[in-house]
Amino acid sequence: MRRYTPKDNVQKRAKYNDRYWVAPIIPRVDVSEDEHFASVSKIISESVELLDSYIELGQLVLEIKPEQNIDAITALKEECGYSVCSELSAIDYLSQDGEFEIFYQFLNMTERKRARIITRIKENQSIESIVPLYDMAKFAEREMYDMFGIYVNNHPYLKRIIMPDDWEGHPLRKTYPLEGDEFASWYEVDKIFGKEYRDIIGPENRDPARVDRYDTQRFARVGKEVPFGADPSLVDTTETPIEYSSAPLSDYNKGPHKTLDKRK
């Protein structure tokens, strides 16, 4: 029987897991430990509903509802002085919870503090754009859309940014394999030669470790070498035996053996 592989997460997994090992969790500090973060958390909780708030590795983490992201981020920017949004993107939790986690990473330059707002949306749910607040979202949200397929409402120009415009699939989803899917293997062949040449060219090799025994232009035919570029079907491909050096080698298995009798 073929080995079962999960289809909802095709990323590499650990081969061996200790049954009794429980992964430790990075300690979450209560927001009241830090004066600034406590006040930020209080201000945000006045404008939106806070699902969770804690300090992780010195950075404030606030979990909010996805519909309230604009309200929360406006309060964070206008009232708490978080003038820079350094990064925003998503994390794919579709296989576990059917949700994406979206994070916004902020920086307060006067207090030298960093905060992160996280929110979870369902697979087909979209989220409001923060372009009116931070211009960086013009690029970052496009990347999020490109990589995860999360639609961002009211984005001025929501379009693929890194992948080509006519690409299918969203590469950072856990269901997308590392070496690309069926579409990816034909994409360049179709582009360069045209669909009608698919039979002649074949799908693109997207696995750099693959050994192609009909490849005559690389060194993948050890023992079955043919002239460069020659058609392997026309060449005699009986295996050439590997020649070993005939220099005299001393065989240590012959002759008097060392006995361990004395080591009783």
Partner 1 sequence: MQQPNKLRPFFENLNFERDDNTMVINFGPQHPSAHGQLRLVLELQGEQVVKAYPDIGYLHRGIEKMAENMIYNEFLPTTDRLDYIASTSNNYAFALAVERLIGVEAPRRAQVIRTMLLELNRIISHLFFLATHALDVGAMSIFLYAFREREFAMDLMEDYCGARLTHSAVRIGGVPLDLPDGWLENLARFLDKLPSQIKLYEDLLTENRIWKMRLENVGIVTPEQALSWGCSGIMLRGSGIKYDIRKEEPYELYSELDFDIPVSDRCDSYGRYRLYMEEMKESIKILRQLIDMYYTTDSQLMAHAPRYISAPKEEIMTQNYALMQHFVLVTQGMRPPKGTVYAPTESPKGELGFLIRSEGEPYAYRLKCRAPSFFHTGILQDILPGTYIADVVTIIGSTNIVFGEVDR
Closest CB to partner 1 among 50 and 142?
142
Closest CB to partner 1 among 181 and 225?
181
- Rounded to a whole number of angstroms, the minimum distance from the CB of residue 189 to partner 1 is 13
- Rounded to a whole number of angstroms, the minimum distance from the CB of residue 56 to partner 1 is 6
Closest CB to partner 1 among 50 and 90?
90
Task: State how far the Cα of 242 lies from the Cα of 230, in Å rounded to an integer.
Answer: 21
Q: Which amino acid is at 99?
A: E
Which residues contact partner 1 by CB under 8 A?
A: 11-16, 21, 23-26, 56-57, 59, 61, 83-87, 89, 91-92, 103, 105, 107, 109, 112, 114, 116, 134-136, 138-140, 143, 147, 160-166, 171-172, 176, 178, 191, 194
- Rounded to a whole number of angstroms, the minimum distance from the CB of residue 197 to partner 1 is 11
Closest CB to partner 1 among 75 and 137?
137
> Cβ-count burial of 64 within 10 angstroms (0-12 exposed, 13-18 middle, 19+ buried)?
buried
- Rounded to a whole number of angstroms, the minimum distance from the CB of residue 205 to partner 1 is 16
Kindly report each contact of residues 26-34 with a partner whose C-beta sits within 8 Å and lies 24 or more positions away, as own/partner.
26/56, 26/57, 28/54, 28/55, 28/56, 28/61, 29/54, 29/55, 29/56, 30/54, 30/55, 31/55, 31/60, 34/60
> Closest by alpha carbon to 174, among 123, 242, 109?
123
